[in-house]
Amino acid sequence: MKVLIINASVRNGRSYSRKLTQLFVENWKIKHPSHVFTYRETGIECIPNIDEQWIAGAFKSPADRTEENQEALQLSDALVKELKEHDIYVIATPMYNWSIPGGLKAYIDQIMRINETWKFRSGIPDGDYVGLLHSKKAFILSTRGDTGYGENEKNGHVNFQTTYLKHILGIMGVTDVTTFSLDNEEFGGEIFENSKNEIFRAMQSIE
């Protein structure tokens, strides 16, 4: 089995989402010592935004793509290939302004490829999406400054982080998704320590 770790924080040593990644990997290696890990960076290293040339290539059939089209899709092709080759995805991301970091959004735009990771069931734009990533599992490791971002909680209506990621994964066919969220970072002190202890204990049970 191959595990793809996707880190999104623009911070390095002070990033709690990266600490969650480290904890996940340590626990996973104990239970699955034969599994292979690949790291994809979207926070510290730049993932370019898609542009007009990208769009022109992505929505053409492969046989009709020019050399310019193929060049524009080179990184995207590599990222999609990487997704297809891995069995488990681990997305570690902080919440920035109630959503995800720009680098992770750029990565998502690169991998949301019609007829590669999703398609329209009928073959025409009708809103009926079919995911093309089969038998995959995902973990979302999120960190947030406040709390109460669950469904029907006080901040649930402004959670454009984990809800968005689950929706995107679902469009691509990944419906087996487990979320761990470390909240209360902006408060610090005992409140945050309690949150850390709670989520670290919960992650010990990951199978």
User: Tens-of-pLDDT digits for all 207 residues of the chain?
Assistant: 999 999 999 999 889 999 999 999 999 999 999 999 999 999 999 899 999 999 999 999 999 999 999 999 999 999 999 999 999 999 999 999 999 999 999 999 999 999 999 999 888 888 889 999 999 999 999 999 888 888 889 999 999 999 999 999 999 999 999 999 998 887 778 878 888 888 888 888 887
| Identity of residue 117 | T
Q: How many angstroms separate the CA atoms of 174 and 88, rounded?
A: 10
DSSP H helices, the chain, are: 16-31, 52-58, 67-72, 74-85, 102-111, 162-171, 189-203
Residue 75: name the closest of 132, 113, 37, 130 by CA: 113
Entry pTM: 0.93
pLDDT at 81: 98
Among 90, 87, 86, which residue's Cα sits nearest to residue 24? Answer: 90
Token digits for 79? 């990222």
**Residue with structure tokens 């010990």?**
204
pLDDT in tens, 156-171: 999 999 999 999 999 9
Nearest CA among 15, 13, 9, 17 for reference residue 203: 17
pLDDT of residue 193: 85
> Which is it for the CA torsion 159, 51, 168, 95, positive or negative?
negative
Q: Which helix (H) or strand (E) holds 26?
A: helix 16-31
